[in-house]
Amino acid sequence: MSLHLLLKSLLRRKVITVLLLVQLAMTLALLANSLLLANQTRHKLNEPTGLDLQHTLEVQLKPTTPKLRNYPLLGDLLERQMAAVRNLPGVLSVSYTNQGPVRQGGTNGNLFDANDEDRTNISNIPYYFVSPDFFETLSLKLIEGQLPQKQLGADANAPSPMVLTRSLAAKLFPGKSAIGMQTNRAPVAAVVEDFFGQSSGTNEVYNAIQVAPLFSVDWGYTLLVKTGDNSTEQVRQLLPDLLRKVDANIEIFYVRSLEEQHHRLYRNEFGLATLLSVLSGLMLLVAMVSSYSNAHFHALKQRQEIGIKRALGASKQLILLELLSENWLTTLLGAVLGAVVGVLLNHALATVISLDALNWWLPVICSLVLLVCVTFATWYPARIATAVSPATATKTL
């Protein structure tokens, strides 16, 4: 079977062939990127966060009166709220923080070794100002040093010592202990296990924590609540009314588990992956219908030619293989074009969402899927064409 003859046959139907190639290319590009995005989102959702997502609740709230948003009345409000929450059945620990973990962005800044700024300056590090029980609430394992046990007052001159996550400490002070080392903000008192901070940060597990009072919360603050295994939902239902009883001058934005927060973090990627998957499925269905119509129409036009070949001794299997080969060649050309379109689509999507580069094996897998679907769609019309007897096909000659 000659490749030259197959190409010549395709060129006889230029418009139909070009349209089919474009359709196959777009189908492969959508399919490859939807698989990539779905796999990436699934991988991110299954990555360890270093946190007990199911049994940790996050309450986002803000005082409605200006005085309560500033120290010292804010400090009194926080103490009253945390005392009330601690007394709830099923609550193991509670802490305040200026921002919660497992989010896209927030209060960030740069951090560096005070003795080596040029080499160690890291930007976009989340800063947490927390109460001492923050580490217990998030079940953060102490790696080295000693966790600060009390917060400094508003009139203290010395900055609160800093607690770093393990990966951040290793980046700032490679090959040596970070304990007692001076950063541009405060000395390091302890190093804790990594936990997921912000997806938009320099690194998801780079976090800097200071046990310190919240001086101003114009944008609100967060209460983190650790619950027992079977009491999370019960505590969640009780929290809003309890906090309003402590002080009615607050606005509660939401109460959700860190697990819900984790899923919300990637909902855009998940939604887009679902949309692309649906579009890919529809495009694949349309490509199969187009391949079927093209094969059926082409088989009807070649009815006499097939009859002559059969009369000259060509077997049904050879005719069937020839018809299928044209569709296989079309699919192969469409797959090559689709790989190029897929890379371009990947770059376009990467400007909107966080998306990895297209792997070489995804277009290969999608090409095989296209090949199987096109073969399935064109087998029946090709099989019908080979069933025509030579006498019937050539009787009009």
Q: For residue 62, give its domain range.
A: 56-257
Q: How many CB atoms lie within 10 A of CB 149?
A: 8
On whether residue 203 sits in a domain, the answer given is yes
9 and 117 together in one domain = no
Tokens representing 117 are 């700024």
Separation in Å, CA 295 to CA 19, 124, 320:
14, 57, 11
Q: Tell me, yes or no, whether 51 lies in a domain.
A: no
pLDDT score for 91: 96
On average, the pLDDT of the chain sits at 84
Kindly report, residue by residue over 187-222, the tens digit of the pLDDT: 999 999 999 999 888 899 999 999 999 999 999 999
Q: Are residues 68 and 146 in the same domain?
A: yes
Start-end of H helices in 101-231: 117-120, 134-137, 166-172
CA dihedral 176, 177, 180, 182 (to 10 degrees): 50
Whether pLDDT at 27 is above 80: yes
Number of structural domains found in the chain: 2
Tell me: do 234 and 288 sit in the same domain.
no
Same domain, 242 and 298: no
| Position 139 in a domain | yes
Do residues 119 and 14 share a domain? no
**φ, ψ at 281 (rounded to 5°):** -60, -45
Same domain, 13 and 62: no
Is it the case that residue 301 has pLDDT exceeding 70? Answer: no
pLDDT tens column, 339-381? 999 899 889 888 877 778 888 888 888 889 888 888 887 777 7
pLDDT, tens digit, for every residue of 226-279? Answer: 999 889 999 999 999 999 999 999 999 999 999 999 988 888 777 878 888 888
Percent of the chain with pLDDT over 70: 82
Task: Tell me: do 36 and 65 sit in the same domain.
Answer: no
What pLDDT, on a 0 to 100 scale, did the predictor assign at position 396? 47
Give me the pLDDT at residue 154, please: 47
